[in-house]
Amino acid sequence: MKRKPVVKGKWLLIVGVIAMLYAAGHHVLQYSVILPSFAALEEEEARKDLQRCMDAILREGHHLSRLAGDWAMWDDTYRFVQDANPEYIESNLEWETLEKASGINLIFICRESGETVWGEVHDSERGGKIRVDEFSSNVSTYLPCLFHFNSTESEHTGILLTGKGPMLINSRQILTSAGTGPSRGVFIMGLFLHETTFRTLSEQTRVPFGVMDLKLGTPDPMEANVLKRLAVEHEVIREESDQTLFVYGKLKDITGKPALLVTARVPRYIMARGRSVGQLASISLLITLSSIGLLLTVMFGTYVFGVRRKTALIEGLIQERTTELNIAKEEAEQAQQNAEAANRSKSDFLANMSHEVRTPLNGIIGMAEAAEELATDPNLKEMITTILSAAGSLLRILNDILDFSKIESNMVELEHLPFDLRIMMDDVARTMGNQARRKGLIFESTLAPGLPLRLKGDPGRLRQVLVNLISNAIKFTPAGGVWVLVELVGEQEDGFQLQFSVTDSGIGIPEEKQANIFERFTQADESTTRKYGGTGLGIAICRQIVRLMGGDLHVVSQEGKGSKFHFTVFLHGHPWEAGISPVDRMTNADLSILIIDGQPASRERLAGKLKSWGYHPFGAADETAVCAILEDSGRTIDLIIMEYHLGDLSGFELARRIRSRKTSDDIPIMMLASAGKIGDGKVCKQIGIQCYLTRPISEDDVRKAIRLVMARHRSTRNDAPMELVTRHAIAEAEQRNARILLAEDYPVNQQVTKMHLETAGYRVDVAENGQTTVEAYTRNPYDLILMDVQMPVLDGFGATRAIRELEAGSGPGTTGDGNGRTGGSENRRVPIIAMTAHAMKGYDRKCLESGMDDYISKPFKRIDLLNIIDKWLCSNAATVKIVPCTLAAADEKTTHVNPEAPLEFDKALSEFMGKRDLLLRTLSGFLDTAKGQMEIIRRAVAEGAADVVRREAHKIKGGSANLRAACLTGLSHDLEEAAERDDLGTAPEIVVRMENEFNRLEAYIAKEQRS
């Protein structure tokens, strides 16, 4: 009776310790680790949001600078300062056009002395024209800094605070179009920053922000305090509430004084996520500690109860034996019955207890895994990893107990679900392969040829058996490897008999103890329990599950030489779904592959895989056999797959010797290694190995690697090194399987652009005008559209507007779901990239305003085209800063020099990746098309149809530029500009020069074709 308070005191102490541990852990996690980390991340994101807002305002200044530069360096403006010709005002300074097209509100043209030759301020939002004297009496005296320049290239751009609100302003010296002087004055251009402007910029940046004019607005006390802090700080962050942060910054005016206070409102979703993570971590910690305490309580209580019960029983039996033997015998029989009832009760209790504890423990593991993914602090990650490890060990024990109790109680019911055998085996291989690799073991999983892949059965239980057997094989294998094989051993009308084998090179099992391992709570040797751990239930559970699936589990083992566990199961399926598709067989029919591996079993397994895929494999175990195969003149080897570990000779050394042979120096080599080391990639490139994969390697990875290696080998020039194929390269090649719509009417440009895209791995559809582009968009989902601006029927601008209307659900042919697509594609904005030979300043803005997302000038290099496509396919288009891709080769100011050759053949050949025949065919096709275009141009010149001349000249310019015919490109540009000005007086002369250039190009192509 005296011991009870002691026991209660111990448990109270344990409960108190758990409570203290939880409180301390909660405080450390919440306030010392998680929340400070998320607070720092939140402030950094707020600063980035503010910078995006301020950058958006400054980009308007860059736009204004480009416009002002075009006007200031214009010969007509230069002459106007001299003669004040009113025709200049009537022809060019029409406010409705200027304000609507470019957003301009102010233009002043002044002489060097500061005298205003002409100046007006116009703002449609304030009623139209603003009196100049209301705005500024004299610009030269109002802002004298606008008239001081260090050089002819210098300019002044900035914010000007006026009585009408803030304005972006730019001043430049008035020079000739060539940028020469002397300066005749100053050209000043400005635009108001309206509230509508800031709203538009806020929508573009997706950050709600406001702007206060420090000249017109009166800051409240809080804003005044912010301005005081901004005098010494770059930005100020203020917590408004638990849901919102305010971040402040300032912009200076053109004189360097504070002008605008920029305020961005940032939702505090990062901090909310941090609190959620902290709560999850705390809850997980509490549940884990409570579960462990509960389990210890139950186990200790059960033990104490059993000891006391047995003690009382023994004492009673001894006492009864001293009185009467018969009564003792009856009591012993009754005790035996009670013991049997207790065993049954224990089984029921274990089943119920395991299930009840397993359910919350799964929740602990799930929450801890989620917290581990969100955690960025290393200390927090280590704590959560410890929780996961302990909870995982506990869950495995409980799962074994629950499974065994269910099997003994005949409560297991198998599922009958369809599944893909290859996908299930790949999943098992990935999971267990990582475990084997961490231990330094080889792991291979093989599906025999002709296996049925689409089956019906219980994939969860089948995976459980495989994982248990493979896990045991890895645990009891100190060195060597583990191999898994699946074979078809029988076929019936309604299903298949499959055999699964797990073979290892581990410690093995003595023959006399092999039968014991299938008994519950038993291992081959009690010492293994102490060394390797485990409950001794796994193999017993596996055998019971396999028997429920219509098969049996067996073991073949020899002590010190490894073990082989194999079992058969019956699964339903369809015979015609077995094996590889006929398409794969046809595409691989002529590929011969040499396998170099010193292990016959491993070599045969890989050969079986390759045969099932339609390849022709040959095997070799050592260097002598390799040389014999490579020297066989009647046999051609297309690919070599070799194992890194080849006994005394490493795979790298053998690869060097193969590369030293003239007959095999260009055969692609794939290297398979059990574990990679830092620097292996560099060694592969030095030797000339095209592919390097580390285990575990799934069958799908091997097949993809072979296809990628051969595709790159065939498309790579002899003098260009091929990039190393790794797991990352395979994944990247899979991501490159994007679908692109090319809208281009000119045949040469179609051919060149399509070639660049398809060799990069993209799928390409071609539309020859804007109307067919819109129709193709409604039929098929595309990841990106390359849009030529000038096309017949409907130009690129019209096609873009039609597509954007379809996306918004307001265009013709839209469906009821509002996604704007009749082809069932995703409801998303498809990136549209403009392609045009126009490279003049301001043209990119016109493309973007029409709904396009980016801009690339013709002619473009292959690398620039692929870079801009990768930019939009690999990034979130809503957050990408638009930087149009322009090339110096497309500059409209290019001087037209008549070189000895009519085109830069080497550069063109480089763009065609060294494919000379393809380049010559493309050039011939260009000449055939251009002859018809020249006939159209001659007739149009005779009839005075300037628009036709401009359109056809523009097409020739784009095609010749892509083919690097610089002189023809320049002449086409001159003819296009003349037609643009409606001045065809010089057109006949240019046409004659173009025809001469075509004759030179034709003769040059004929010469190249003969050589």
- Reference 789, options 967, 957, 964, 927; nearest CA is 957
Other beta carbons less than 10 A from residue 971's beta carbon: 26
Please give the Cα distance from 601 to 582 (Å, whole number): 27
Tokens (6 digits) for 524: 């081959």
Asked whether residue 636 carries a pLDDT value surpassing 90, the answer given is no
Q: Give the pLDDT score at 837.
A: 62
Pinpoint the alpha helices (H) of 613-667. 623-631, 651-659
Please give the Cα distance from 716 to 708 (Å, whole number): 12
Helices 195-205, 35-72: inter-axial angle, 10-degree rounding: 130
144 DSSP assignment: G
Q: What are phi and psi of 556, to 5 degrees?
A: -125, 120
Where residue 890 falls among pLDDT bands split at 50, 70, 90?
very low
CB of 567 closer than 8 Å to CB of 468: no
Instruction: Using the structure block, give the residue that is written with the tokens 């290099």.
Output: 861
Please give the Cα distance from 924 to 929 (Å, whole number): 9
Tokens (6 digits) for 496: 């298949």
Non-local (6+) Cβ contacts of 826 within 8 A are: 781, 819
- Reference 270, options 370, 374, 377, 366; nearest CA is 374
Task: Determine how β-strand 563-573 pairs with β-strand 639-643.
Answer: unpaired
Tokens (6 digits) for 834: 């403009």
AA letter at 70? D
Task: Determine how β-strand 106-110 pairs with β-strand 186-192.
Answer: antiparallel
Please give the Cα distance from 189 to 139 (Å, whole number): 11
Mean residue pLDDT across the chain: 76
Asked whether residue 996 carries a pLDDT value surpassing 80, the answer given is no
- pLDDT (average), residues 676-699: 79
Helices 946-962, 966-980: inter-axial angle, 10-degree rounding: 160
Work out the percent of the chain whose per-residue pLDDT is above 70. Answer: 78
Burial of 548 from C-beta contacts in 10 A (0-12 / 13-18 / 19+): middle
Tokens (6 digits) for 833: 């990239």
* Range of 81-90, 290-299, 719-728, 902-911 with top mean pLDDT: 81-90
Q: Give the pLDDT score at 953.
A: 84
Q: Give the pLDDT score at 581.
A: 34
**111-131 pLDDT, tens digit each:** 887 788 888 888 887 778 887
CB of 755 closer than 8 Å to CB of 912: yes
Q: Give the pLDDT score at 736.
A: 52
How many residues are there in the chain?
1011
Q: Which residue has the higher pLDDT, 275 or 937?
A: 937
Side-chain-facing half-sphere of 534: CA atoms under 13 Å: 24
CB of 425 closer than 8 Å to CB of 485: no
Range in 320-334, 823-837, 977-991 the model is least confident about: 823-837
Non-local (6+) Cβ contacts of 1008 within 8 A are: 905, 920
452 DSSP assignment: B
Q: What are phi and psi of 948, to 5 degrees?
A: -65, -45
Tokens (6 digits) for 485: 């094989």
Please give the Cα distance from 799 to 790 (Å, whole number): 11
AA letter at 456? K
Please give the Cα distance from 518 to 215 (Å, whole number): 88
Q: Give the pLDDT score at 436.
A: 86
Instruction: Using the structure block, give the residue that is written with the tokens 């195969």.
Output: 629
Q: What are phi and psi of 16, to 5 degrees?
A: -65, -40
Report CA Rg, the chain: 40
- Grouping H, G, I as helix, E, B as strand and the rest as coil, residue 209 is strand
CB of 987 closer than 8 Å to CB of 978: yes
Q: Which residue has the higher pLDDT, 843 or 832?
A: 832
Q: Give the pLDDT score at 787.
A: 92
Instruction: Using the structure block, give the residue that is written with the tokens 């530069």.
Output: 69
Q: Give the pLDDT score at 246.
A: 83
126 DSSP assignment: G
Please give the Cα distance from 870 to 736 (Å, whole number): 9
Tokens (6 digits) for 900: 């000895």
- Grouping H, G, I as helix, E, B as strand and the rest as coil, residue 245 is strand
818 DSSP assignment: S
Where residue 552 falls among pLDDT bands split at 50, 70, 90?
confident
SS3 content of the chain, % helix, strand, coil (to 5): 55, 15, 30
Q: Give the pLDDT score at 498.
A: 92
Tokens (6 digits) for 451: 């296996």
- pLDDT (average), residues 913-922: 75
CB of 509 closer than 8 Å to CB of 515: no
Q: Is the peptide bond before 859 cis (omega within 30 degrees of 0)?
A: yes
AA letter at 661? R
Q: Give the pLDDT score at 742.
A: 93
CB of 118 closer than 8 Å to CB of 84: yes
Asked whether residue 530 carries a pLDDT value surpassing 70, the answer given is no
**223-268 pLDDT, tens digit each:** 778 878 877 887 888 777 777 888 888 888 887 788 788 888 888 7
Task: List 129's β-bridge partners, or say none.
Answer: 122
Q: Give the pLDDT score at 772.
A: 92
- Grouping H, G, I as helix, E, B as strand and the rest as coil, residue 426 is helix
Asked whether residue 819 carries a pLDDT value surpassing 60, the answer given is no
Give Dmax (Cα) for the chain: 142
Please give the Cα distance from 769 to 933 (Å, whole number): 17
Tokens (6 digits) for 246: 């305010």
CB of 517 closer than 8 Å to CB of 511: no
**170-193 pLDDT, tens digit each:** 899 999 888 887 888 999 998 888
Q: Give the pLDDT score at 413.
A: 67
Q: Is the peptide bond before 696 cis (omega within 30 degrees of 0)?
A: yes
Non-local (6+) Cβ contacts of 77 within 8 A are: 71, 88, 109, 174, 187
- Reference 880, options 272, 240, 206; nearest CA is 206
Phi-psi region of 497 (alpha: psi -120 to 50; beta: other; left: phi over 0): beta
Where residue 456 falls among pLDDT bands split at 50, 70, 90?
confident
Helices 747-759, 862-873: inter-axial angle, 10-degree rounding: 60
**469-507 pLDDT, tens digit each:** 998 889 888 888 999 999 998 888 788 899 999 999 888
Strand intervals (E) in 769-845: 784-788, 832-836
- pLDDT (average), residues 795-801: 90
Q: Give the pLDDT score at 786.
A: 93
Q: What are phi and psi of 852, to 5 degrees?
A: -75, 160
Where residue 721 falls among pLDDT bands split at 50, 70, 90?
low
Q: Give the pLDDT score at 583.
A: 31
Where b means 16+ CB within 10 Å and e means fewer, 419-436 reads bebbebbbebbeebbebb
Burial of 245 from C-beta contacts in 10 A (0-12 / 13-18 / 19+): buried
Tokens (6 digits) for 423: 């996908």
Range in 93-97, 215-219, 486-490 the model is least confident about: 215-219
For the full predicted model, state whether its pTM sits above 0.75: no
Please give the Cα distance from 168 to 534 (Å, whole number): 75
838 DSSP assignment: -
**260-279 pLDDT, tens digit each:** 888 888 887 777 777 777 77
